[in-house]
Amino acid sequence: MAKINKYMKLGEIVEKYPETIDIFFKYNLQCAGCYAAGFESLEEGAKAHGITGKKFQELMKELNKAAGEK
């Protein structure tokens, strides 16, 4: 079962699973550490950076893999 879903706030993900930070940077989502991280969902942040469709699914898969290795 996925630990991270598209509705989670970016800041919440980084706080619970700090091992995901490198993945956010890999996808050029530096917003994981910006002011928007407190209110923007993963899906909203990704969409704002042009990460949608298959690329978004890949991001979700990588984030959950990292979170599962905790």
Q: Which residues contact 3 (CB under 8 A, 6 or more apart)?
A: 17, 64, 67, 68
Predicted local confidence at residue 38, as pLDDT? 74
How many domains does the chain divide into? 1
Q: Is the pLDDT of residue 17 over 90?
A: yes
Residue 32 banded pLDDT, cuts 50, 70, 90: low
Torsion angle defined by CA atoms of residues 46, 52, 58 and 59, in that order, rounded to the nearest 10 degrees: 0
The answer to whether residue 33 is domain-embedded is yes
9, two tokens: 């706030």
Residue 48 lies in a domain: yes
**If pLDDT is split at 50, 70 and 90, which confidence band does 39 have?**
confident
Range of 30's domain?
10-68
Q: Is 47 part of any domain?
A: yes
1 domain-assigned: no
Q: Is residue 23 part of a domain?
A: yes
Q: What is the pLDDT of residues 50-70, one digit of tens each?
A: 999 999 999 999 999 999 964
